[in-house]
Amino acid sequence: MPKNSKAVKRELDDDVTESVRDLLSNEDTCDDSFKKSSLIVGGGGGDGEGKDLNGDMDVEDGGSDAEDDAARPAWNSKLQYILAQVGFSVGLGNVWRFPYLCQKNGGGAYLVPYLILLIVIGIPLFFLELSVGQRIRRGSIGVWNYISPRLGGIGFASCVVCFFVALYYNVIIGWSLFYFSQSFQQPLPWHECDHRNSTPDVVPECEKSSATTYYWYREALNISDSISESGGLNWRMTICLLAAWSMVCLAMIKGIQSSGKVMYFSSLFPYVVLICFLVRALLLKGSVDGIRHMFTPKLEIMLEAKVWREAATQVFFALGLGFGGVIAFSSYNKRDNNCHFDAVLVSFINFFTSVLATLVVFAVLGFKANIMNGKCVALNTKKIVGLLGNEISRDLIPHHINFSATVSAEDYQKMTVLIRGVMEKDYQLLGLGSCSIEEELNKAVQGTGLAFIAFTEAMTHFPASPFWSVMFFLMLVNLGLGSMFGTIEGIITPLVDTFKVRKEFLTVGVCLLAFFIGLLFVQRSGNYWVAMFDDYSATLPLLIVVILENVAVAWVYGTDKFFEDLKDMLGFTPFRFYYYMWKYVTPLLLILLLGSSVIQLGMTPPSYSAWIKDLASEKSLSYTPWGLAVCISLVVMAIMPVPVVFFLRYFNIIDENAGVVSTISYKKGCIIQEIARPEEEDDASLIHAKSPSPMPGNSIYRKQKGGVPDSTPNGRYGIGYLMADMPDMPESDL
């Protein structure tokens, strides 16, 4: 065969000549029963024999290497694919991280830098990952190995980071499952503090903190005082972790064929819950105060560099860049899918989901602030009544205020203003609180503090609180599962593509291994380990991975050549905007973000927030020397594959052609193979930029002998599109 020609195989009733373009556009030629079938990879010499891409195996009649390249399934519909990408990108961070950053960094003004950075960093990088995954049709390992074998370690680094994140992310799903299981009771178990031995005495730890705080740290986690005190396994959380991994394993065991169906529920249900919560919260007193507080712009804060750095970090992680899940999901797409539209659509869905979640969170927190403020007013009004006639003159109390009735927050503010104006320095000795809704709303919380403490406390005041609690934690479970599916796919897909193992066995093996390692996170000290992994296992490694991805495409492979590939794949040339973003702007901004992150880590010694039982409060503790060693090891282990693979390739310890894989196109389960030959010249497109549609006379197909598909070792049927024995054809002008 000529150097740049491709063998394209297809079962037809008669010998026909048909272009690959026609094959791709024909949706009715493949029976649905062949969607799970195995791919027959054959190379096309005139003697009917072929080799795999590494030249290791001879193939007779194109059928003996079916074991090597299992058929890649395709999404059943575009909607299923979009829901998968949305489910992966929209996660817990949208609910408990974005609202906190929005409040902390200028309220509504924070949306401006976030949107700018979403357009400059988020969408271009998201589009880049979607493009290479869809065009090369491999997971992260295969994609970056194909682009530059010396940068093949990028894919392995993504897998390592995915595994680290999956370890602790599923623990959070386990926590949500525990609260979900405890929500089917009235009143909710965290409604009030427990009494000691059925006496009026309240547990001191609960009395010093709050009912929801006590329930989280003592009843749910039974937390130890430091990371050094493991305290043994928390058996209830161990069961919840097992349930979480079982759900993930069952949903992922058949790949996208099983997880894709789950996506319809796991991706859409959170929106139903968020909308229901928003409608319900808006009907509660104080919700508007929360929303007004949230979106009141503080323009002076927007000019601070820290705001832009945190916005860039949030954009980066909100879209799931660098994990490999985006690449894995897009690799199951049709070759001509408009991935640019997908990138813009999913990015803005993610953004509007964050805004919706922010509305919900601060509507609920506004209601909670109103409740807490009312309690504060009632408590301090009693203090004022007790001080009347002694420290406080009755003449200072406005005549319209009736202490026998409920005193409003406005009346309380009038009293305290008058009392402070008269007593001045002695006012502090009275011990009266300010009781301000603004101060209550300024108590910014994020992460588990928002979900398992602040939000749960607010829900205890909801009418029909168990129902809303069940809905909320079921939403958290679904948000977590959607992200977990993409994370696990970022591990499974590259390994299956690279090592040709059965997906079912690998999925079960990965889930079992992750569960047993995950027992570290369900000890009494497990919450501290979750915080450690969250802080150090992903942030820096993912930044480095995405910088290398950007450099690999824009500078190693070449932006011009990549644009040609995109034009061939999409049918149109993308906006020139992406050219400059990929080549100059985005890598520069990512390097600045990496540098600022390293500086921040250097300026703030590694520490964690520990719950001290005797104090009934949190305290910042520094990591022990072995804890610091673990933090450093997490970063090093995650990024180590990049230099290791580079040096192995550079010194020819591993052949640079090893791992070059074939590109496969699918159409509703129909499989058309395009064999990429490792000896192609450099001027050949990375992913076959030139049109793969041969002219008549250059592609001849013959029906497989026997008419019965070959049975594959895994019990599925091979399609068996075999090329006819024929002499070498003249080299195509293409």
DSSP code per residue over 489-503: HHHHHHHHHHH---H
DSSP 572: S
- Select from 634, 667, 613 the least CA-distant residue to 32: 667
HEC string of 329-377? Answer: HHCCCCCCCCHHHHHHHHHHHHHHHHHHHHHHHHHHHHHHHHHHHHHHH
Tell whether 94 is in a known binding site.
yes
HEC string of 67-81? Answer: CCCCCCCCCCCHHHH
Buried b (16+ CB within 10 A) or exposed e, 601-629: beeeeeebebbeeeebeeeebebeeebee
- Residues 326 and 86: their CA atoms lie apart, in Å, by 10
Tell whether 197 is in a known binding site.
no
Tell whether 350 is in a known binding site.
yes
- Whole-number pLDDT of residue 200: 64
- Residues 464 and 183: their CA atoms lie apart, in Å, by 11
- Residues 388 and 732: their CA atoms lie apart, in Å, by 100
**Which alpha helices (H) appear in 500-585, and where do they start and end?**
503-518, 526-536, 539-551, 559-570, 576-580
- Select from 488, 148, 139, 91 the least CA-distant residue to 317: 91
Q: How crowded is the C-beta side of 527, counted as CA atoms within 13 Å?
A: 22
Pull the structure tokens for residue 205. Answer: 């730890």
Beta bridge partners of residue 622, listed in sequence order: 607
SS3 316: helix
Q: Which residues contact 99 (CB under 8 A, 6 or more apart)?
A: 294, 354, 357, 358, 361, 362, 446, 450
- Whole-number pLDDT of residue 210: 86
DSSP 298: -
- Residues 415 and 441: their CA atoms lie apart, in Å, by 22
- Select from 594, 592, 586, 595 the least CA-distant residue to 116: 586
Q: Given CA atoms 90, 92, 95, 97 in this order, what sign does their dihedral have?
A: negative
Q: Which residues contact 211 (CB under 8 A, 6 or more apart)?
A: 190, 191, 192, 193, 457, 460
- Residues 291 and 278: their CA atoms lie apart, in Å, by 11
State the helix-helix crossing angle for 235-252 and 503-518, rounded to 10 degrees: 160
Q: What residues in the chain have per-residue pLDDT under 70?
A: 1-71, 195-201, 444, 656-734
Q: Which amino acid, one-letter code, is at 97?
A: R
Residue 643 has a CB neighbour count (10 Å cut-off) of 12
pTM of the model: 0.77
Q: How far apart are the first and last CA of the chain?
A: 14
DSSP 678: T
Task: List Cα–Cα distances, 403 to 344, 392, 395, in angstroms.
Answer: 59, 15, 14
Q: What is the pLDDT of residues 294-349, one digit of tens each?
A: 878 887 888 888 888 888 889 988 999 999 999 999 999 988 899 999 999 999 99
Cis peptide leading into residue 187 (ω within 30°):
yes
Please, are residues 710 and 721 in contact by the beta-carbon 8 Å criterion?
A: no
Please, are residues 661 and 331 in contact by the beta-carbon 8 Å criterion?
A: no
Q: Which residues contact 137 (CB under 8 A, 6 or more apart)?
A: 72, 331, 335, 663, 664, 665, 666
Pull the structure tokens for residue 596. Answer: 């600022």
Instruction: Name the phi and psi angles at 109, rounded to 5.
Output: -65, -25
Task: List Cα–Cα distances, 96 to 337, 554, 597, 609, in angstroms.
Answer: 33, 34, 21, 18
Q: Given CA atoms 366, 372, 376, 378 in this order, what sign does their dihedral have?
A: positive
Pull the structure tokens for residue 124. Answer: 């271009």
Please, are residues 669 and 34 in contact by the beta-carbon 8 Å criterion?
A: yes
Please, are residues 184 and 470 in contact by the beta-carbon 8 Å criterion?
A: yes
**From the CA atom positions of the chain, what is the Rg in Å?**
30
- Residues 121 and 550: their CA atoms lie apart, in Å, by 11
DSSP assignment of 447-465, as one string? HHHIIIIIHHHHHTTSTTH
Tell whether 483 is in a known binding site.
yes
Buried b (16+ CB within 10 A) or exposed e, 412-425: bebbbebbbeebee
- Whole-number pLDDT of residue 658: 55
- Whole-number pLDDT of residue 473: 95
Tell whether 87 is in a known binding site.
yes
- Whole-number pLDDT of residue 180: 95
Pull the structure tokens for residue 303. Answer: 């000019």
Tell whether 482 is in a known binding site.
no
- Residues 354 and 90: their CA atoms lie apart, in Å, by 8
- Residues 20 and 695: their CA atoms lie apart, in Å, by 10
SS3 388: strand
Please, are residues 191 and 211 in contact by the beta-carbon 8 Å criterion?
A: yes
Pull the structure tokens for residue 27. Answer: 């949706």
SS3 622: strand
Instruction: Name the phi and psi angles at 308, rounded to 5.
Output: -70, -35
- Residues 544 and 648: their CA atoms lie apart, in Å, by 20
DSSP assignment of 162-227, as one string? HHHHHHHHHHHHHHHHHHHHTTSSSS-TTSSPPBGGGSSPBPHHHHHS-HHHHIIIIIIS---SST
Instruction: Name the phi and psi angles at 285, rounded to 5.
Output: -65, 130
Pull the structure tokens for residue 38. Answer: 């195995």
SS3 59: strand
- Cβ neighbourhood burial of 211 (10 Å; 0-12, 13-18, 19+): buried
- Select from 235, 145, 273, 131 the least CA-distant residue to 564: 131
- Residues 339 and 345: their CA atoms lie apart, in Å, by 10
